Amino acid sequence: MLGRGTTLRNRYRIVEPIGQGGMGAVYLAEDLRLEGRKCAIKAVRIDPNVGEEMVGELQHQFSREASVLARLDHPNLPKVSDYFTENDLDYLVMDYVSGKNLKQIVDEARRAGRFLTEVEVLTWARQLCDALEYMHTQEPPVLHRDIKPSNIKLAPSGLIKLVDFGLVKLMAKDDSRTVTVLQGRGTAAYTPLEQYGEDDTHTDVRSDIYALGATLYHLFTNQPPAEAKQRFLKPESLAPVRALNPAVSEAVEQAIMAAIAMHPDDRPSTVAELRDMLFSHKAPESASARMPPVVRQETAGDVVRSNLAWLALAVIVAVVAVIVTFFRG
């Protein structure tokens, strides 16, 4: 861990740590060159199990792929402004996003004995879908690989930010090989089965879709879904969303359960497809549509016209009755 006041690259002064994981830590820092600017710096430790000959290759890989992240420009992604290596650690400098993360927000709801509303969760989901669709349609596509509530910030403006690029992965165009930025394996409850182990060449956009679905499951039910490994051995360990929160609409439940299907082929193939499923339920009717119909007052002429057939039949019956009475007389 870097101490408070440590200066990196003669520019970034560490204020305090704001997160730590197995492969590094994230710090709040001051930019000494741009007065008043705060930034988040992710320090990445190279896997100690790799040989010395791999260190240089990994650092080159980090620089090459961090430059791809620096080119990303989307309102729901923090801007990567710098990257460098110092004292055998790789650093990624990003915009600092203030506000609570969604893990903190859902934990507060759980402690209060309530669920987050479908409207607010879907508002966040739409923004997350936009960010992931943007990443997935880059050339080459960029995967996040560690989507979870604690990696999603809600800014005071209401804007959602997917803040941690810790496990970004670039896919080669011909898919013949893939390379991973900042080695790591994700968080168990939000990680699909194909992302486990050393050989994760089968991961693609559907792995991010699984993680997003697992995140939405947590936000709606106040608890993360059962881990993929547990579900593989015991499928019934995953409770349906509405079994835990009946207020969730059936369409949203179906979308989430499809997103976290065990086999990638059973999930939506794109984020756009997942978005369509999430928002496929019928929108509430507008106020004008709920207005009672205007009732028009019928005139005497309207009554006669609408009952003309019956009046004709009555006249015929009356005439027949008069004729019969006449002949009997």
Mean pLDDT of 170-180: 41
Mean pLDDT of 24-35: 92
pTM of the model: 0.77
Length of the chain: 329
Find tokens 């430059």 and name the residue.
67
Q: Which two tokens stand for residue 165?
A: 């690029």
**Cis amide prior to 140 (ω within 30 degrees):** yes
The predicted pLDDT at position 239 comes to: 97
C-beta atoms surrounding 107 within 10 Å: 15
Mean pLDDT of 301-322: 55
Burial of 128 (0-12, 13-18, 19+ CB in 10 A): buried
**pLDDT at residue 182 greater than cutoff 60:** no
Beta bridge partners of 171: 178
DSSP string, 92-113: EEEE---SEEHHHHHHHHHHTT
Q: Give Cα 10 distance to the centre of its chain.
A: 37
Catalytically annotated residue among 90, 146, 164, 204: 146
90: annotated active-site residue: no
Find tokens 């060159």 and name the residue.
33
Beta bridge partners of 178: 171
The predicted pLDDT at position 65 comes to: 76
Q: 197-252 pLDDT, tens per residue?
A: 655 567 899 999 999 999 999 999 999 999 999 999 999 999 999 999 999 999 99
CB 10 within 8 A of CB 88: no
pLDDT band at 25 (very low <50, low <70, confident <90, very high): confident
Of 47 and 310, more confident: 47
Mean pLDDT of 167-174: 48
Cα–Cα distance between 109 and 120 in angstroms, integer?
A: 13
> Please, what is the end-to-end C-alpha distance for the chain in angstroms?
122
pLDDT band at 19 (very low <50, low <70, confident <90, very high): confident
Of 183 and 257, more confident: 257
Q: 57-102 pLDDT, tens per residue?
A: 777 778 877 888 889 999 999 999 999 988 878 899 999 999 999 9
C-beta atoms surrounding 281 within 10 Å: 15
Of 141 and 308, more confident: 141
Highest-confidence segment of 13-22, 50-59, 70-79, 188-197:
70-79
pLDDT band at 45 (very low <50, low <70, confident <90, very high): confident
What's the mean per-residue pLDDT of the chain? Answer: 81
Cα–Cα distance between 177 and 103 in angstroms, integer?
A: 34
Find tokens 């509430």 and name the residue.
284
Q: 102-147 pLDDT, tens per residue?
A: 999 999 999 999 999 999 999 999 999 999 999 999 988 888 888 9
Burial of 185 (0-12, 13-18, 19+ CB in 10 A): middle
CB 81 within 8 A of CB 39: yes
Burial of 261 (0-12, 13-18, 19+ CB in 10 A): middle
Cα–Cα distance between 72 and 304 in angstroms, integer?
A: 73
The predicted pLDDT at position 199 comes to: 53
What domains does the chain contain, in order, with CATH numbers? 7-95 (3.30.200.20), 100-278 (1.10.510.10)
Highest-confidence segment of 133-137, 173-177, 183-187:
133-137
Integer Rg of the chain from CA: 31
